[in-house]
Structure 1
Amino acid sequence: MKKHILLPTDFSDNAWSATVYALKLFNDEECTFYFLNSTKMKASSMSNISNRLLEAMSRTALDNLTELKEMAETTNANANHTFEIILSAADIQVAIDLAIAKHHINLVVMGTKGATGAKEIFFGSNTVRVIKKTKQCPLLIVPDNFNFEIPSQIAFPTDFTRHYSDRELKYLRELIELYDSKLRVVCILSKDKLTGVQEYNMTMLESYIENYDYSFHFMPNYAKKTEEINDFIELLEINMLVMVNYKHSFIEGIIKEPVINKIGFHPIVPFYVIPD
């Protein structure tokens, strides 16, 4: 089935890096990629801007989108891939929601930071908003300047306190099937052993993934969860991190405080977020 992938862009190097990763990840898949740019400005920035200047900015954005499309077509000579452009005057989140609905988007791919992203920031403000608000389809966050590597090892952190639905795990299974990846389910133990509910949820999860190459890993609670997950990523040479973004989830804790030295976590591999 043909995939429809949305690529929000601010024309930064980070956004292009995320685009390149997406093109390589879905190299063998039939896809239409949609470059989306929003020209919406904050109200405080618009007070002294004339309509003529706004029109000029829109024309520039459209020219940049057209150039981006042509560059993608030139550098990615892949018969499986086609490209479209979307210029929106709406707020970036509204623009993304509208595009998802109109073009039946299966995945949104973004970089971690925008054009003005500082090195110490975990996610740029737009990326954080998109993680919080996007519920219609999964989101893939690609680290800055990340060189593509086949996601042969996928980590799926969970505490087994929640039962996952078939819809949520469908996205995970589709990702595994792209490259016949190995799934590493990792649980950071808060107590010596699992509760009855955790045991049940683990059994149910296993039934959903029984046809794949998977393994369960249990880690003692020796540091911040963020640090432990990074340790796990490095130890097992993980290529992609997958999480479900539900209320009070681990992701929610990360995006509430997006400064690395307070969180102790940075996206060292692509981060695939499944909506609740």
Structure 2
Amino acid sequence: MRHQILVPTDFSDNAWSAALYALKLYANTPCTFYFSHAWTFLNSGSRGHISSSYIEPLIENAKEQLEALKDRAKLESTNSDHQFETIFSYGSLMDSVEFANKEHNIDLVVMGTKGATGAKKIFLGSNAVTVINKVRRAPVLLVPKKSKFETPKKILFPNAFSRFFGEEIKRVKQLAQLHGSSIDILHINKKDTLSDLQNSNLESLKAELADFEFNFNWLPDYNSKAIAITDFIKDNDINILTMINYEHSFIENLVKEPIIKKLGFHSKIPFMVIPRID
């Protein structure tokens, strides 16, 4: 199976770090990597007309940067079954992602996150939030600033077991198959027992993961699920965090609110957000 991986780029160090992570994560897997750049002219101020003689060199420079990025990725790759393409488009990042999804049947979008600045800490950033909220076909793998690749021996999958597991769970399994990772299932709840529905969904999940190494972990209710997840990641040497982006879920709350540094969700590991299938 050949994976189709989309790596949007603004030519920043963060975007390149995400590209490197993707190359290493899929080092042993046939893939086509699509490096995409959405070009938009910004900061035009009050000028009513911008001449083509000014715009065209900017566009050509961006196209050259995109080709150079592709060549750089080829040099970094260690797999002859890796192929590389570029997608240059005009408009928004989201337009570019949607075009790639439609034209190339993308399996995964890999993005770098810039990290937070200032007194309040926003974990993801506006571009990542936009993609998470609007992409409904492919998972989004968010690679934190300066994140270095480590073979993902352990994947974390927090879940409330409030919904039946459908096609979404296949994304977790596909990720685990890349490097034979074990899966840590994390349930955070102040109640001592599960409801009948939760038990049924848990049994369904166990059946889905029968061919994988997995562990079930139960934590008491924290004041903040963000703290609980962050602590579990640190204490258990987790390499990748995965979650399904259900409506009214923890992720939905996470992407809406600025989070204070000392209380926040500051994972230093990649975070895969899996879109729900309606």
CA offsets, 1:230-271, max 9 Å, x none? 111111111000100110111111100144438611232110
Is the Cα–Cα contact under 8 Å of residues 39 and 57 in structure 1 kept in the other structure? no
Matches within 5 A, 1:34-53: 34-41=34-41, 45=44, 48=47, 50-52=50-52, 53=54
Partner of 1:132: 133
Is the Cα–Cα contact under 8 Å of residues 123 and 258 in structure 1 kept in the other structure? no
Shift of 1:70: 1.4
Partner of 2:231: 231
- After superposition, the CA RMSD in angstroms is 1.8
Is the Cα–Cα contact under 8 Å of residues 14 and 146 in structure 2 kept in the other structure? yes
Partner of 2:26: 26
Shift of 1:93: 0.4
Partner of 2:208: 208
Give the structure-1-normalised TM-score: 0.93
User: Matches of 1:20 and 1:51 in 2, distance apart?
Assistant: 37
CA offsets, 1:41-74, max 9 Å, x none? 46x7475261423322211110110111111122
Matched, 1:81 2:82: yes
Shift of 1:33: 0.6
* Total equivalences in the alignment: 272
| One-letter amino acid matched to 1:85 | T
Is the Cα–Cα contact under 8 Å of residues 5 and 33 in structure 1 kept in the other structure? yes
| One-letter amino acid matched to 1:157 | P
Is the Cα–Cα contact under 8 Å of residues 122 and 257 in structure 2 kept in the other structure? no
Q: Which runs of 5+ in 2 are unaligned?
A: none
Is the Cα–Cα contact under 8 Å of residues 260 and 266 in structure 1 kept in the other structure? no
Partner of 2:95: 94
SS of equivalent residue, structure 1 residue 253: helix
CA offsets, 1:95-144, max 9 Å, x none? 10111110111110001129xx7474311211110111111111100111
Partner of 1:250: 250
Shift of 1:11: 0.4
SS of equivalent residue, structure 1 residue 16: helix
User: Between the two proteins, what is the percent identity of the paired residues?
Assistant: 42
User: Matches of 1:205 and 1:78 in 2, distance apart?
Assistant: 33
| One-letter amino acid matched to 1:134 | V
Matches within 5 A, 1:61-76: 61-76=62-77
| One-letter amino acid matched to 1:78 | N
User: Matches of 2:150 and 2:129 in 1, distance apart?
Assistant: 25
User: Matches of 1:85 and 1:260 in 2, distance apart?
Assistant: 38
Is the Cα–Cα contact under 8 Å of residues 257 and 263 in structure 1 kept in the other structure? no
Shift of 1:4: 0.9
Partner of 1:264: 264
Is the Cα–Cα contact under 8 Å of residues 27 and 77 in structure 2 kept in the other structure? no
Matched, 1:218 2:218: yes
User: Matches of 2:124 and 2:41 in 1, distance apart?
Assistant: 20
Q: Which runs of 5+ in 1 are unaligned?
A: none
User: Matches of 1:202 and 1:64 in 2, distance apart?
Assistant: 48
Give the structure-2-normalised TM-score: 0.92
Is the Cα–Cα contact under 8 Å of residues 122 and 260 in structure 1 kept in the other structure? no
